[in-house]
Amino acid sequence: MNSVLFVCLGNICRSPLAEAALRAEAERLRLDLTIESAGTGDWHVGEPPDPRAQAVAARHGLDISAYQTRQVTPADFRRFTHIVALDHDNLSNLRRIAPADATAALSLLLDHVPGREGQAVTDPWFGDAAGFDVTWAEVTAAAAGLAGRLTDPNPRPVATA
């Protein structure tokens, strides 16, 4: 079974929204997928998502208030079939900490959006609430692309992997 871990820096803004978007898409398409998110950093471990992330998810009918931040672990590289980084720093940190027996396919989130391959999801944490609407649009587009890739019997290769 496919399983997807989204990884950003803090696991309070971008990756929880990506997790929520793919959970909603998987439910809509009745896909049997394990979906989680994690951060490369540990500053917010155990906390719920940023209130602005909770608010944008709520505006789209999704409750992410019970999500709890966690840090990515070496075991994640074997447990998940796909690990999806939100930006290039996240991706290079993942490559740095990947154990030798890692089996997960690594990609950037926007590799799953046609025409935006290789691009990063800007961190909305430092900006205003409008930035979270941009993030939401990006993670929902990627969720649709990723769900399509995971159900395609002959998926095209991911640019980053």
Residues that bind ligand 4NP (CB under 6 A): 8-14, 43, 123, 125
Pairwise CA distance, residues 12 & 49, whole Å: 4
Sequence-separated (6 or more) residues with CB below 8 Å from residue 21: 136, 139, 140, 142, 143
Q: Residue 13 Cβ, how far from ligand 4NP at the closest point, in Å? A: 3
**Closest residue to ligand 4NP using C-beta atoms:** 10
For residues 5 and 150, which CB has a smaller minimum distance to ligand 4NP in the complex? 5
Looking at 2-126, list the stretches that DSSP marks H as alpha helix, in order from N- to C-terminal side. Answer: 14-29, 51-59, 76-79, 88-97
Residue 108's φ and ψ, nearest 5 degrees, are -95, 145
42 is catalytic: no
Q: Residue 131 Cβ, how far from ligand 4NP at the closest point, in Å? A: 10
- Which one of 50, 76, 87, 123 is the catalytic residue? 123
Q: Residue 25 Cβ, how far from ligand 4NP at the closest point, in Å? A: 20
For residues 13 and 147, which CB has a smaller minimum distance to ligand 4NP in the complex? 13
13 is catalytic: no
63 is catalytic: no
First-to-last C-alpha distance (Å) of the chain? 20
For residues 10 and 145, which CB has a smaller minimum distance to ligand 4NP in the complex? 10
Helix axis angle for 14-29 and 51-59, nearest 10°, is 30
List, by residue number, the catalytic residues.
8, 14, 123
